[in-house]
Amino acid sequence: MSRLERHLRQTGLPVIGRAGQDALRDATVLIVGCGALGTVTAELLARSGVGTLVIVDRDLVEYSNLSRQVLFSEKDAARSTPKAEAARTRLGRIDPEVRVRAFVEDISSENVEGLTEGVDLIVDGLDNFETRYLVNDVAVKHRIPYLYAGAVGTRGMTMPVLARGGAGDGALVRWTPAEATPCLRCIYPDPPAAGIVETCDTAGVLGSVTAQVASRQVTEAIKLLVGDLQHLDRSLWSIDAWTNQTSRLRVRIEDHEECVCCGSRRFEFLDAPPDRVRPLCGKAGVQIRGDGADVDLARILERLQSSGRFERRDGVVHGELEAVRTADGHAVMLTIFEDGRAVVEGDSDPAWARGVLSRFVGL
Ligand SMILES: [Zn+2]
């Protein structure tokens, strides 16, 4: 089977052709977040022939993900496989020639510039606005095209971010100053406060809607990668798939010269230190970041063995801390990642989580 045969139906499209297919093969696309949006996006990009995918996600696969996160199976949920690793394995079965780099990391101001280095396009699979604003900062600062997408409930939206002034030198995706678009902060100057916006964890979400929004994001990504800027939808597009309402809001970049990010080029989210301790979204738990140094997972596993049932797999120690119970009698779940990040599930109190971590893990 040749590559030509694999992509026959795509090269047969006049808007792509052989030249467009070659451009896709030469592209590196970063998928930030590999949940409902990210898995559909990653699968469609891999099948379309994008040569290199970089996938970053901080979470492990859970059973509640399976209704919409198309790259994952029951086995991944049973094993609590990190999403980025499970995605890489599955994509390798779909097309072994696609290079997939997987990072089991929490995207923060400390690592985001490293993750975006050498990337031709960033696509959105995130579930929170804080990280989106960080990605928006990086995209504008380094002139990397960024496709924003979000979905919750039965609603979703997409919008491209092409930094003012045009693409950087030698970029694969090129745009002129006249083709630049507003950034996220032009439209929403500040991220909504945590707890105000519904998120997938609290509001529920329909898998067909996340797939629809991801699919639209991929179409726009392909337009950018093959260089068809003319047909890119530059608007803030949104849909409620249940009530059949769609809208396209065309925001004029000229009206937002004062934008703190793309106007004044101040990158407030990128310049801020990451939160060390952050409550998990939608469930009782706390994420605690390490100090930047990798930890010795073998030693941590040994230490935890006497306090519960733990396993080490895929660069993660994960299990139930039977020695500590939550208010309703459940064992506390503990996950330690190679980079020193820890997730303590059972209560949202940061001080309690830090105490558990220090007592049982010594972190
Ligand atoms: Zn802006």
CA 171 to ligand 1 centroid distance, Å: 21
CA 236 to ligand 1 centroid distance, Å: 13
Cα gap 341→160, rounded to integer Å: 31
Of 46-60, 127-141, 159-173, 271-285, give the lowest mean pLDDT range.
Answer: 271-285
CA 194 to ligand 1 centroid distance, Å: 21
Question: Could you tell me whether strands 236-240 and 155-161 are parallel, antiparallel, or unpaired per DSSP bridges?
Answer: antiparallel
Q: State the pLDDT confidence band at 228, using cuts at 50, 70 and 90.
A: very high
Cα gap 178→241, rounded to integer Å: 33
3-state secondary structure of 171: coil
Strands across the sheet containing 331-337 = 277-279, 285-288, 342-345, 331-337, 316-325, 309-313
Fold entry, domain 3-271: Rossmann fold (3.40.50)
pLDDT tops 80 at residue 144: yes
What pLDDT is attached to residue 177? 95
pLDDT tops 70 at residue 28: yes
Q: State the pLDDT confidence band at 201, using cuts at 50, 70 and 90.
A: low
pLDDT tops 70 at residue 199: no
3-state secondary structure of 231: helix
pLDDT tops 70 at residue 196: no
CA 21 to ligand 1 centroid distance, Å: 32
DSSP classification of residue 330: P
What pLDDT is attached to residue 194? 60
pLDDT tops 70 at residue 53: yes
CATH topology agreement for domains 3-271 and 277-360: no
What pLDDT is attached to residue 213? 98
Q: State the pLDDT confidence band at 288, using cuts at 50, 70 and 90.
A: very high
CA 263 to ligand 1 centroid distance, Å: 6
What pLDDT is attached to residue 89? 98
CA 159 to ligand 1 centroid distance, Å: 13
What is 277-360's CATH number, 1.10.3470, 1.20.272, 3.10.450, 3.30.310?
3.30.310
Place of tokens 């937002």: 256
What pLDDT is attached to residue 324? 85
pTM of the entire structure?
A: 0.94
Q: State the pLDDT confidence band at 330, using cuts at 50, 70 and 90.
A: confident
Number of Cα atoms under 13 Å in the Cβ half of residue 231: 12
What pLDDT is attached to residue 169? 86
What pLDDT is attached to residue 280? 83
Query: Any idea how long the chain is?
Result: 363
What pLDDT is attached to residue 26? 98
Of 31-40, 105-114, 211-220, 324-333, give the lowest mean pLDDT range.
Answer: 324-333
CA 67 to ligand 1 centroid distance, Å: 35
pLDDT tops 90 at residue 229: yes
pLDDT tops 80 at residue 195: no
| pLDDT tens string 297-321 | 999 999 999 999 999 998 899 999 9
3-state secondary structure of 118: coil
CA 131 to ligand 1 centroid distance, Å: 16
What pLDDT is attached to residue 293? 85
CA 313 to ligand 1 centroid distance, Å: 42
- The environment of the single-atom ion ligand 1, i.e. residues with CB closer than 5 A, is 183, 185-186, 259, 261-262
CA 249 to ligand 1 centroid distance, Å: 15
CA 175 to ligand 1 centroid distance, Å: 16
DSSP classification of residue 168: P
pLDDT tops 80 at residue 1: no
Residues of the chain with pLDDT > 70, as a percent, come to 97
Query: Please, are residues 250 and 187 in contact by the beta-carbon 8 Å criterion?
Result: no
Give residue limits of the domains in the chain.
3-271, 277-360
